[in-house]
Structure formats: C-alpha cells, structure tokens
Amino acid sequence: MTPGGATPLTPTPTRVVVIGPVYCDLVFGDLARLPEWGEEVFAERFAVAPGGSAITAIALARLGHRVSLAATVGHDALGDVVRHGLAAEGVDLSWVALRAPGTTPVTAALTAAHDRAFATYLGAGGDAVDVAAVLAGSDAEHVHVAGFPTALAQPTLAARAHEHGATVSFDPGWDERALTLPAVRTLVREADVVLPNRLEAARLLGAPDDVTSADLVTRLATLRPRGISVVKAGGDGAWGAVTGGAVADGAVLHAQAPNVMALDPTGAGDVFDAGFLDAWWEGVTLEHCLARGCWFGARATTAYGGASAAPTRMEWEARA
Ligand SMILES: Nc1ncnc2c1ncn2[C@@H]1O[C@H](COP(=O)(O)OP(=O)(O)OP(=O)(O)O)[C@@H](O)[C@H]1O
Ligand SMILES: [Mg+2]
C-alpha cells in the first residue's frame, strides 16, 4: 500500500515459482447427473485446459507477475496441450521436465454448477521436482506449492525457500490419506500462507466435516507458529486468521463470495489463491486479501476450465 493508503494501479510484479503436478484437464460440463457403472452420460459442454498447478500459474501471469512453473509432464499430445496453454499465457517453462510419452497427468472433470467429480491419472506428475535445483537456479521471491505431492517429496521445502529469501504458500488440495501424513502437516505448519478448502482443512486437523469454517481456521492458525491461515468454503466465501502478525492472534475474518452465475467450480480455489497472493504481495490487510481471493474465485466459476475465466489486472481494476 502507498503511504496515502491508495493501492497502486501497477504493483511491482513478483517473481514466483509455482511447484506441483500440472494436469491436462478434460472438462465435461453441465452434466445432468453422474453416470452409474456401465452407463454413459452426455455432456452439454466440453473444454480442454491446463489444470492443477497450471491454474494458479496462469492466473498469476494474467495479473502481470513473472511466473515459472516447476512440474513434470509426458512428451506427448496432452503434454503439448498443457505446455502450449501455459506458454501462451507467458508462463516460463524452464523448469518443466519431460518424461516418456503417455505419462502426462490427466483429469476428467465431470461438472455441474453445484459440484463436480474427478477421475485422475497422476502419471509423471508423481515424480518429484528437484526443488533445491529450482531454488538455486531461480531468483524467485515466492514459491507457491500447488497440491500435496510436492509436500510428500519435499517436506522441508519451506525452510529451504526461506533460506533463499523466498516466502511460501501452500494449497494442499484433496487426498484423504495424504492430508493426514506428517510431511504434509510439516509444510502446512511452516508455509507463510496456507489455503485449504474446508474439507481439506477438516481432514488436516482431524476435525469432523460439520465443524464451522470459522472454527477450522482458528484451529489451523493455532497449529501454525506464524503466518496466514485461510479456509475456502465455495459459495460461502472464505475465512482467514493470522498467527503472530499485525492482526491480533485469534481474530478470524470472513469475506463473502460475490454472487455469480456459477457454471464450473473447478479451479475456483486455485484462482482464489492467485487473487489472495496478489493482494498479500501488495501489502494490503488480510480482510482485503480475502475479499480479492473471493472475487477471483467467484470469477473462475463463470467459465468451463480452471483458469479460463481468471481475470487480468485490467479486469480486476475495472471491477464494478
Ligand atoms: N458458487 C460460487 N459462487 C461464488 N463464489 C464461489 C463459488 N464457488 C467458489 N467460489 C469462490 O471461490 C473460492 C474457492 O472455492 P472453493 O472453496 O470451491 O475452493 P476449492 O474447493 O479449493 O476449489 P478447487 O480445488 O476446485 O480449485 C471460494 O472461497 C469463493 O470465494
Ligand atoms: Mg482446491
């Protein structure tokens, strides 16, 4: 924030590395229902788009940040779709490693306006990225970890990134088992910003699914020695709390999600992350970071494909 309190129109771009599996998302949209075994249902809409870590990378690049992606894809047609999609958005692919054909991670997303189901092949996405090499070879100011696999392979990533002078954010994503493992909890504790959705937070904390989001974010903040804890809750918006920061410990803030005509919720959380981080790097209050994240997340639901509707800097500045 400038001394007068006004937000600069062109904030300084942040050099950021996004680490985590990138998927070729095949989005079957507007389904009336999910198929039963042995059945076929026909989608009204279809999109192919880079998914997983690519969603936050693209959303950050659209805001003018200097984004590199560190991930592993197959040397195949689906890998080309992902790489071309990222390159077209200006994301640097120097740290994308190529593996054998047929190993590009792929997700079939079956979506309706209110919910979605996925079938995923992780393939080369399970291969660990050499985080030490990425940190040593880049001048990143921030590392965003998209998805739990990186935490499993590199639980001490946050400490390493901090040694390089970079801050760290972590969106674990969903995996029933991984969220209970010590490696994932280590990164949750040590990252500067953690951004699970409410189911992920409940699983991480060993809390029942019906605990309120405000309670979840309080528990998450208590677990962490410092930094910002966020819990995303779809159309109910997002909750946030700071440990050891300028905001009093224990103070829980909530931002409403704007009302939108949601078409596809896939990637809303990842685009939320981009909006939240963009605000955080600007130095605005947690309340404003949550509000920007919610606005971005809501926008993301208005088109098929994770990052398709991620806003540009101009669209954010021109918001109604
Ligand atoms: N139906 C909706 N209407 C308005 N805003 C929404 C809606 N769904 C999501 N959002 C916004 O996006 C944010 C993130 O959504 P959500 O909680 O679904 O994340 P997520 O489960 O991590 O999503 P994903 O993993 O698919 O990217 C919410 O906090 C909210 O601000
Ligand atoms: Mg998510």
What CATH number is given to the structural domain containing 145? 3.40.1190.20
The confidence score (pLDDT) of residue 197 equals 97
Q: Which residue has the higher pLDDT, 247 or 34?
A: 34
Rounded Cα distance between 168 and 161, Å, is 7
Percent of the chain, pLDDT > 70? Answer: 94
3 Cβ partners below 8 Å, 6+ apart?
none
The confidence score (pLDDT) of residue 5 equals 44
Q: Is residue 102 part of a domain?
A: yes
Q: Is residue 316 part of a domain?
A: no
Which residue has a Cα nearest atom 28 of ligand 1? 234
Beta bridge partners, 154, equal: none
pTM above 0.85, yes or no: yes
Which residue out of 25, 58, 194, 232 has the highest number of ligand 1 atoms within 8 Å of its CB and is therefore the one to mutate?
Answer: 232
Q: Which amino acid is at 150?
A: T
The confidence score (pLDDT) of residue 9 equals 53
**232 in ligand 1 pocket by Cβ < 6 Å?**
yes
60-81 tens-digit pLDDT: 999 999 999 999 999 999 999 9
**298 in ligand 1 pocket by Cβ < 6 Å?**
yes
DSSP state for residue 17 in the 8-state scheme = E
64 Cα to the center of ligand 1, angstroms: 23
Which residue out of 114, 118, 195, 197 has the highest number of ligand 1 atoms within 8 Å of its CB and is therefore the one to mutate?
Answer: 197
The protein residues having their C-beta less than 5 angstroms from ligand 2 (an ion) are 269
**Segment 195-199 mean pLDDT:** 97
Q: Among 94-108, 214-228, 248-262, where is mean pLDDT lowest?
A: 248-262
Q: Is residue 263 part of a domain?
A: yes
Q: What does the angle CA 26 – CA 31 – CA 34 come to, to the nearest 5 degrees?
A: 90
Kindly report the backbone phi and psi dihedral angles of residue 172, in degrees, each rounded to the nearest multiple of 5, phi listed first: -70, -30
**Segment 154-175 mean pLDDT:** 95
Q: How many domains does the chain have?
A: 1
143 Cβ partners below 8 Å, 6+ apart?
16, 17, 18, 19, 135, 157, 161, 166, 167, 168, 169
pLDDT at 246 over 90: no
259 Cα to the center of ligand 2, angstroms: 19
pLDDT at 4 over 50: no
User: What range does the domain containing 154 cover?
Assistant: 15-311
Q: Which residue has the higher pLDDT, 117 or 265?
A: 117
Q: Is residue 2 part of a domain?
A: no
The confidence score (pLDDT) of residue 261 equals 87
4 Cα to the center of ligand 1, angstroms: 33
**Segment 197-226 mean pLDDT:** 94
Residue 206 in contact with residue 180, Cβ under 8 Å?
yes
Q: Is residue 9 part of a domain?
A: no
Q: Is residue 47 part of a domain?
A: yes
pLDDT at 113 over 60: yes
pLDDT at 3 over 50: no
39: exposed, middle or buried (Cβ count in 10 Å: 0-12, 13-18, 19+):
exposed
Q: Is residue 3 part of a domain?
A: no
Average pLDDT, the chain: 92
**266 in ligand 1 pocket by Cβ < 6 Å?**
yes
Rounded Cα distance between 237 and 240, Å, is 10
* Closest ligand to the CA of 199: 1
The confidence score (pLDDT) of residue 10 equals 56
Rounded Cα distance between 219 and 213, Å, is 10
Which residue has a Cα nearest atom 3 of ligand 1? 235
Kindly report the backbone phi and psi dihedral angles of residue 36, in degrees, each rounded to the nearest multiple of 5, phi listed first: -80, 165
* Closest ligand to the CA of 146: 2
The stretches of the chain forming alpha helices (DSSP H) are 53-62, 77-88, 131-137, 148-153, 157-163, 182-190, 198-205, 213-223, 268-282, 286-300, 313-317
> Considering only CA atoms, which of 240, 242, 204 is closest in space to residue 225?
242
Q: Is residue 291 part of a domain?
A: yes
The confidence score (pLDDT) of residue 24 equals 97
* Closest ligand to the CA of 306: 1
**257 in ligand 1 pocket by Cβ < 6 Å?**
yes
